[in-house]
Amino acid sequence: RIEKLGRDTRFAQIVDLMEKASTDKPRLAVLADRIAAPFLVVVVFGALLAAAYWWQVDHSKALAVAVAVLIVTCPCALSLATPAAMLASAGALARRGVLVRRLQAFETLSTIDAVVFDKTGTLTEDRLVLRQVRVREGVTRAEALQVAAALAQGSLHPVSRALARAAQDEGLTPAVVRGDVREAAGKGMEAFVGAYGRVRLGAAAWVDAPEAVPSADGGPEAHLADDAGWLASFELAEGLREDAAAVVQALKAAGIRTWLLSGDRDAAARQVAQAVGIDEVVAGASPEQKLAEVERLQGLGRRLAMVGDGLNDGPVLARADTSFALGHAAALAQTRSDYVIQGGRLMDVADTLVQAKDTMKIVRQNLTWAAIYNAVSIPLAMIGWMPPWLAGLGMALSSFLVIANATRLARRPPVQSPA
C-alpha cells in the first residue's frame, strides 16, 4: 500500500533538511580568492601607468617595462599559494584512504573546536551480530527471522543488515513481501508480509506493542509486530571500533571537545560514550532533533565537525561546519560530507585535522612569500630595473618556491594512536 509519494516521503524530508542545512552552511572564503580580482586590476593599471611614464622618459623602454610588470606576476605566486597546498594535502590524504570532496574544507577544519560522533556504525563496528531472539507463542525463531529479513534486506541500517545477514547465514529465505517496504528514518520499516498482514520492524515505539520491552543493557535491538500485535524482539551485540577510544583521546589532547549524538536509547549511548571517553551525550534523537542540537551548539559559538555514516546523519553532516562520512556510509550521507574515510579508520579524523592545520600554515607561508615577492618585484619592474627575461625568471622561481613549500605536506607522516 502506497501512503506517501515524492516530497511527502520521509526520505524526501531528510533530503530537504540536508538541502536547507547545506545552503546555510558557513564557509570561510579563501583569502587568495578575495585578493585575486583586485590584484589583477592593480597589476594591469600599474603596467599601463609604467608604460605611460616611460613613454615620456624613454619610449624605447615603455613596452619592455609594461611586459616585465605583467610577466613578473603571471602566473602569480599569490594565485598558486592556496590551491597548491590544498591539492598537496588532498593527495596525501587520498593515499592514506581519505577522500577530500571539498578543498575549502581544509580551512574550516583547521578552526574547529568540537567533534560530534554518531554511535552505531561510527564509534561501533558496522557489523552487528544477532545475539538473542524472543518470539510470541506459536511463532518459531526461524519464522520471525524470515519476516524480519523480508523487511530488512533492502535497508542500509546496521541493525537491518545484521538481521538480513543472520537469516542468510542460517539458510533462511526471507518471507514474501506484498508491495513495497516503507522505511521511516530513525524509526523502522513497514510492509505487508504473507499471512501476517501489515508488519512493522524497528524501535519499540515504532511497533507500538507492550511486549516490545527494551533490553536491560541498552544494546542495539529491533522489534517486530504484525496486525495481531508483538511478534518478536531481536537483541544484537556491537563492538567498539578498535581505535574509537584512541581518536577521542587524540582529539582531547588537541583541545577538541567531543559529543555523542545518537538515535539510540540513552543507556546504550552512554555506555559507548563512557567506554571511549566522550563526556557529552545526546540520545534518542530523530534526524530533526540531531539537526537542532548541532544548530544549538553552533549558536553557542562552537565550530563543529560531524562524523557519521547513516541516512539519519545526512542533515547534520550537511549543517556541521565540516563533516566526515565513513566509506560504508549511505550514499546520501557521503554526498553531504567534506571527507570520506574509505578504510573506516577513525584515527583518520585526528590525522585529517592535523593535516588541515598544517595546510593552512603552509598557505599562510605561501601567501606571505607571494606578498613579499610582489611587493619587491613589481616596483623594480616598473622603474625599469627588471627586464622581461629577469621578470620571467623571477616569476618561475617564485612559483617554484610556492609549489615546493606545498609539497612538504605530502611528506607528513600520519598521526598514530596514542600509546
**Sequence spans of domains, the chain:** 31-83+361-411, 94-124+240-353, 129-237
Cα-flanking dihedrals φ and ψ of residue 30, to 5°? -70, 130
Most confident of 3-7, 131-135, 156-160, 247-251: 247-251
CA–CA separation, 322 vs 110, rounded Å?
A: 10
Per the CB < 8 A criterion, the answer to whether 1 and 180 are in contact is no
Cα–Cα nearest to 95, from 342, 389, 395: 342
CA–CA separation, 166 vs 163, rounded Å?
A: 5
Instruction: Assign domain 129-237 to its CATH architecture.
Output: 3-Layer(aba) Sandwich (3.40)
Q: Which residues pair with residue 306 across a beta bridge?
A: 116, 323
Residue 234 has a pLDDT of 92
Residue 23 has a pLDDT of 42
Most confident of 226-230, 246-250, 393-397: 246-250
pLDDT at 7 over 70: no
Q: Band the pLDDT of 313: cuts 50, 70, 90.
A: confident
Residue 24 has a pLDDT of 38
CA distances from 67 to 57, 78, 123, 382, 391 (A): 17, 19, 59, 10, 9
CATH 3.40.50.1000 fits 94-124+240-353, yes or no: yes
pLDDT at 332 over 60: no
By annotation, the residues acting in catalysis are: 118
Residue 112 has a pLDDT of 94
Residue 414 has a pLDDT of 81
Question: Average pLDDT for residues 62-66, to the nearest whole number?
Answer: 78
Q: Band the pLDDT of 9: cuts 50, 70, 90.
A: low
pLDDT at 70 over 90: no
pLDDT at 27 over 60: no
pLDDT at 110 over 50: yes
Residue 334 has a pLDDT of 64
- Per-residue pLDDT of 354-399, as tens digits, reads 999 999 999 899 888 888 887 888 788 777 777 888 877 877 888 8
Q: Band the pLDDT of 13: cuts 50, 70, 90.
A: very low
pLDDT at 351 over 90: yes
Residue 29 has a pLDDT of 36
Per the CB < 8 A criterion, the answer to whether 184 and 202 are in contact is yes
Residue 255 has a pLDDT of 93
Domains 94-124+240-353 and 129-237 share a fold: no
Residue 149 has a pLDDT of 93
Q: Band the pLDDT of 20: cuts 50, 70, 90.
A: very low
pLDDT at 213 over 80: no
Per the CB < 8 A criterion, the answer to whether 341 and 324 are in contact is yes
- If one compares 382 and 107, the residue with the highest pLDDT of the two is 107
pTM of the model: 0.71
pLDDT at 307 over 80: yes
- Per-residue pLDDT of 256-272, as tens digits, reads 999 999 888 888 889 89
Question: Average pLDDT for residues 86-110, to the nearest whole number?
Answer: 88
* Average pLDDT score, the chain: 82
Residue 416 has a pLDDT of 75
- Per-residue pLDDT of 136-171, as tens digits, reads 898 999 999 999 999 998 887 888 889 999 999 999
Strands 229-237 and 129-135: antiparallel
